[in-house]
Amino acid sequence: MREFAARFIRSPEGVAGLVLTTCLLAMALSAPYLFPRDPLSIVGRPLLAPFADPAFPLGTDRLGRDVLAGLMHGARTSLLVGISAAVVAILAGAIVGTLAGFSSGWFDEALMRVVDAFQIVPGFLLALAFVSVMGASLPLIVLAIALGAWTGPARLARAEVLSIRERDYVAAAWVIGMHPLEIAFKEVLPNALPPVLALVSVIVAGAVLTEAALSFLGLGDPNIVTWGSMIAEGRNVLRTAPFLSIVPGLGLVAMVLGVYLLGEGLVEALARRRIRQ
């Protein structure tokens, strides 16, 4: 473990990603304590420029809402949606992939055609359609994003399972009379999981962007502040108050970059260990 940490620290992108995500995580976790009021509440003069008033370091928007409070609470929403969507997608993908890979035959075929069907529709369109039909609330948005993201993990998990199920210890499990489902989820899945987990960073980054895009189009939950809705709101005054779009936009960049770099660093550190083994 210590060796792994040392290897991780040696990769510059991993460290940069760790620093960025830690900062954003700290922002998200501290938001309700630093800004206990609803971040959508109107607190000051509208369209105050950043750094002009110490009470509102990042200024205020068209209605006089604190941009800094929005940024902090928005980090919370973004991270929450990103991580929840990734968890749902990985979970669903791993289960479907394991079932397909382990069962083989017509059941495998059927499951994989379902995966194909989902994969040919662009994930964003899928989310868009789902949200416009089902309505916009946070759990539904998470589900909508996961709907377009679970196919990657499913394919990867199936491929891993196909190779693992031929191993000796799986044969041994059959011999001692374990239930097939027990073998699939107790013996095979845990060993198939690590490569699938490498997808987490990609899915989280994608989910954060999809959520922002949905909010930007007005399909997010209007009762919570998100970076996408802040950018959409700021777009109306882009020429007079560009900071309203730039500030949450930078947040988005930092979040996606941070998560992605962290993922890269982790994968690289893990890969080196494998090579050495």
Partner 1 sequence: MFRFSLSRRALLYPVALTIGLAILPLSPAAQEAPEGGRLVVAADSEPRDLNPAVVASNGVFFISSKVIEPLAEASYEGEDGLEPRLATSWEGSEDGLSFTVNLREGVTWHDGEPFTSADVAFSALEVWKPLQNLGRIVFSSLEDVETPDEHTAIFRFSEPTPPQMIMKAMPAVTAVLPRHIYEGKDIATNPTNTQLVGTGPFKFAEYRPGEYYRLVKNENYWSEGEPQLDEIIFRVLPDRSAAASALEAGEIHLAAFSQVPLVDLERIGQVPGLEVITEGYEALTYQLVVEINHRNEALADRRVRRAIAHAIDKDFVVDTIFLGYAAAATGPVPKNAPEFYNPDVPVYDFDVEKANALLDEAGYPRGDDGTRFSLRLLPAPFFAETRQFGDYLRQALAEVGIRVELINNDTPAHIKAVYTDHDFDITVSPPVFRDDPAISTTILVRSGIPNGVPFSNQGGYENPELDALIDEAATTVDTAERVALYNEFQRLVVEELPLINVAEWSFTSVASEKVLNVGNNPRWVVSNWADTALEP
For partner 1, the binding residue among 40, 88, 99, 261 (CB under 8 A) is: 40
Q: State which residue, 81 or 131, has the beta carbon closest to partner 1.
A: 131
Tokens linked to 72: 């902090």
Is 237 a residue that touches partner 1 (CB under 8 A)? yes
CB-based contacts of 14: which residues, under 8 Å, 6+ apart?
8, 261, 262, 264, 265, 266, 268, 269
Distance in angstroms (rounded) separating the CA atoms of residues 83 and 229: 19
Is 129 a residue that touches partner 1 (CB under 8 A)? no
Question: Which stretch, 39-47, 143-151, 169-177, 181-189, contacts partner 1 (CB under 8 A)?
Answer: 39-47
For residue 73, how many C-alpha atoms fall within 13 Å in the half-sphere facing its CB? 22
Number of CB atoms found within 10 A of residue 75's CB: 28
Is 222 a residue that touches partner 1 (CB under 8 A)? yes
- Helix, strand or coil, per DSSP, at residue 39: coil
Least Cβ distance, residue 221 to partner 1 (angstroms):
8
Is 63 a residue that touches partner 1 (CB under 8 A)? yes
Is 30 a residue that touches partner 1 (CB under 8 A)? no
Number of CB atoms found within 10 A of residue 23's CB: 14
For partner 1, the binding residue among 239, 274, 276, 277 (CB under 8 A) is: 239
Q: State which residue, 126 or 136, has the beta carbon closest to partner 1.
A: 136
Residue pair 60/46 in contact (Cβ under 8 Å)? The answer is yes
For partner 1, the binding residue among 12, 57, 135, 194 (CB under 8 A) is: 135
For partner 1, the binding residue among 19, 42, 52, 172 (CB under 8 A) is: 42
